Amino acid sequence: MSHAGNLPMLHNWLRYRHLALIDSLARTGNMHSSAQQLGLSQPAVSKMLRDIENQFGFTLFERLNRELPATELGAEVVAYAQRALNDCQTFSYRLESLRQGGHGYLRVGAIFAATAHALPEALLRLKGRRPLLTIELLEDTSDHLLKLLEHKQLDMVVGRFTDHPQRQRFDFMALAEEPFLLIARPEHPLCARHRVSPMQLTEWPWVLYPLNTPLRQSLEQSFSDAGVTAPANSIETTSVQTTLKLLGNSNTLALLPEAVVRQNLLDGSLKQLQTNLAPPPLAYGVLLRKEEPISSAARDLIEALRAAILEQ
């Protein structure tokens, strides 16, 4: 294999087909499957991978009996290949949209609290100004969305940081603080109590956000501060629809963003419990990759979000 000193010359040698092969092998973990995907013979795929590894000067994938896991250095190359391919795909989408008379393509990821009220209103405002702009919206938790943002599968995220290293990779523009409420169905026995203690809360089943989400971390910290072990009887989900169904049909408890349950509280289908267990509001906002220009469509959406939040 060649020496590491040749690495700066890679940009003159790497081609789209090399990146596509690296991405395919990472996804399938199989030479035969990648050969079928790329329309090549398996020997051709094997040779191309050897050529790529010779250029890098190190092995990208371990050759095991039933799989091809990426090596530590190979994982870095895979991440680069996927970012480059996503860049190319985005360029292709945008160019085709413009060719057909459209005005761009914007991929947005958002947490559930934002999609409940502020973001739909902001999207309507944006489409009023840019009717031919194509918008792709993905709703998920911040940790998943920021991974997609890092790999250039999203243009922006409406969410929050989930760990400190992310602050080195993304710029954050605060939009609002998100209050949380402890929710149950009106028939729940705890709803009859004037004040519910943290210990009493642990005696009932819960539906919780996953452990790696800021809301779950905040709830765990609140129980710890109260000197109480967090509930053991729980279901973990990011699905708002599933959570609301569980709350409405059982004596399950949940801590949810106020924006998510606002309508349910107004129509009486759910009720807020009174307790001194009070996780603080968490700020959310727009996250963008550092040191990258912001598109005019993204700027317009940020402006529309701020306006929608002010009117809430």
For residue 266, what is the domain's CATH number?
3.40.190.290
SS3 144: helix
pLDDT at 177 (0 to 100): 87
User: In this predicted structure, what is the pLDDT of residue 100?
Assistant: 54
- For 12, the token pair is 């003159």
Element holding 61 (H helix, E strand): none
Q: Is residue 75 part of a domain?
A: yes
pLDDT of residue 6: 54
- Among 85, 116, 144, identify where a domain stops: 85
Number of domains in the chain: 3
The verdict on 124 and 265 lying in the same domain is: no
Rounded Cα distance, 10 and 6, in Å: 7
**Which domain, by its residues, includes 266?**
180-280
β-pairing verdict for 282-289 and 170-178: antiparallel
Condensed to tens digits (0 to 9), the pLDDT of residues 118-175 reads 899 999 999 988 888 889 999 998 889 999 999 999 999 999 888 778 888 999 999 9
Q: Tens of pLDDT along 248-267? A: 999 999 999 898 899 999 99
Query: 107 and 73, same structural domain?
Result: no
Where b means 16+ CB within 10 Å and e means fewer, 163-192 reads: eeebeeebebeebbebebbbbbbeebebbe
Statement to judge: residues 210 and 64 lie in one domain: no
Contacts of 262 (CB under 8 A, 6+ apart): 116, 117
Task: Report whether 174 contacts 285 (CB < 8 A).
Answer: yes
Q: Of 85, 120, 137, which one is at a domain's C-terminal end? A: 85
Distances (CA, A) of 231 to 110, 131, 204, 253: 28, 48, 8, 10
DSSP letters, 70-117, are: B-HHHHHHHHHHHHHHHHHHHHHHHHHHHHTT---EEEEEE-HHHHHT
CATH number at residue 157: 3.40.190.10
Q: Is residue 169 part of a domain?
A: yes
Average pLDDT value over all residues in the chain: 88
187 and 261: one domain?
Answer: yes
pTM: predicted TM-score of the whole model, two decimal places: 0.62
Residues 219-242: pLDDT tens digits? 999 999 999 999 999 999 988 899
90 found inside a domain: no
- Specify the pLDDT at position 304: 94
Q: Specify the pLDDT at position 250.
A: 96
Do residues 259 and 210 both lie within one domain? yes
Question: What is the percentage of the chain residues whose pLDDT exceeds 70?
Answer: 93
Question: Do both 167 and 246 map to the same domain?
Answer: no
Q: What pLDDT does residue 4 have?
A: 47
pLDDT of res. 161: 86
Kindly tell me the sign of the dihedral angle through the C-alpha atoms of 237, 242, 245, 250.
Answer: negative
Output the domain CATH number for residue 80. Answer: 1.10.10.10
Q: Choose the final residue of a domain: 35, 50, 85.
A: 85
Residue 310 has what pLDDT? 85
pLDDT band at 10 (very low <50, low <70, confident <90, very high): low
Using the predicted structure, report yes or no on whether residue 11 has a pLDDT greater than 80.
no
Residue 44 CA from chain centroid, whole number? 36
pLDDT in tens, 171-194: 999 998 888 999 999 999 999 999
Cβ atoms of 54 and 18 within 8 Å: the answer is no
What is the model's pLDDT at position 21?
92
Q: Which residues, in sequence order, are CB contacts of 3 under 8 Å at separation 6+? A: 57
Q: Please indicate, yes or no, whether residues 206 and 172 belong to a single structural domain of this protein.
A: no
Report how far residue 109's alpha carbon sits from residue 282's, in angstroms, rounded to the nearest whole number.
18
CA pseudo-torsion sign 105, 106, 107, 111: negative
Better pLDDT: 4 or 30: 30
What percentage of the chain's residues is helix, strand, coil (to nearest 5)? 50, 20, 30
β-pairing verdict for 134-139 and 271-272: unpaired
Q: Which pLDDT score is estimated for 98?
A: 60
Residue 177 and residue 127: Cα distance in Å, rounded? 26
pLDDT of residue 2: 45
Inside any domain, residue 186: yes
Cα separation values, 80 from 19, 22, 75, 276, Å = 9, 10, 9, 48
pLDDT tens sequence across 39-69? 999 999 999 999 999 888 899 999 988 889 9
- What integer pLDDT is reported at residue 12 of this predicted model? 65
Mean pLDDT of 100-112: 79
Per-residue pLDDT band at 99 (split at 50, 70, 90): low
